[in-house]
Amino acid sequence: MLKLVIGNRNYSSWSLRPWLAIKQAGLPFEEIAIRLNEAGTKAQIYKYSPSGKVPCLIDGDLLVWDSLAICEYLAEKSPSLWPSDARVRAEARSVSAEMHAGFSALRQSMPMEINASKPYDERTAEVLADIARIVAIWESCRRRFAAEGPFLFGRFSIADAMFAPVVWRFKTYAVELPPASRDWVEAICGLPAMQEWRAGALSETAK
């Protein structure tokens, strides 16, 4: 059985991405949760992950680390995690990679903290630019693929998983969204897996 090593649900945005993908794919797996930023955390992670970071996927003697690499491996087992059309799939991969590699100002100023409410009015120009670009991606996808389903490219895909932590960030920091983006956020938040992740985050006591 697959094993997925993750960090705290409240904070670990990188863990949420492959966790949501594997849940949506319906693949059976064992979850190994490690509390971050505690004495012995690094040693615990190194028992599983050669990078010393979470998440890490274990499939027998194979280790896959890095969120996007894990999602790609999961798609090998469950191809429905990417759109079936090659051109659409290429775009979905592009926005997923952009999320994976970019938006550093947003990450630094608005970290994922699901159990918090921090309306954030004094946003830097860099943060505002990151928000604007993310919203532009969401709006473009929903404008073109709304007829095929409620997610970014119609059916749920890795692109939705990659942007899922941003949903919690925008809720924590009270980011206002246009209608199509709000609809997508509601669809993502309505997933049982997202509700399960949120419930776990709210039950955590570690700070």
pLDDT in tens, 89-135: 999 999 999 999 999 999 999 999 999 999 976 899 999 999 999 99
**10 and 45 belong to one structural domain:** yes
Domain boundary among 79, 112, 145: 79
Residue-number span of the structural domain to which 114 is assigned: 82-193
Give a yes or no: residue 32 inside a domain: yes
pTM of the full predicted structure? 0.96
124 — alpha (psi -120 to 50), left (phi > 0) or beta?
A: beta
Taking alpha carbons only, the member of 99, 85, 108, 86 closest to residue 158 is 99
Please spell the DSSP secondary structure of 150-174, one letter per residue: SBTBBB--HHHHHHHHHHHHHHHTT
Domains held by the chain: number: 2
User: Would the pLDDT of 15 be above 80?
Assistant: yes
Say which CATH number the domain at 45 has. 3.40.30.10
Angle ∠(7,190,132) on CA atoms, nearest 5: 75
Domain end (from 52, 79, 106): 79
Question: In this structure, what is the dihedral angle of CA atoms 64, 68, 72, 77, given to the nearest 10 degrees?
Answer: 70
Check whether residue 125 and residue 74 sit in a common domain: no
Query: What's the whole-number mean pLDDT along residues 136-152?
Result: 98
Q: Are residues 91 and 44 in the same domain?
A: no
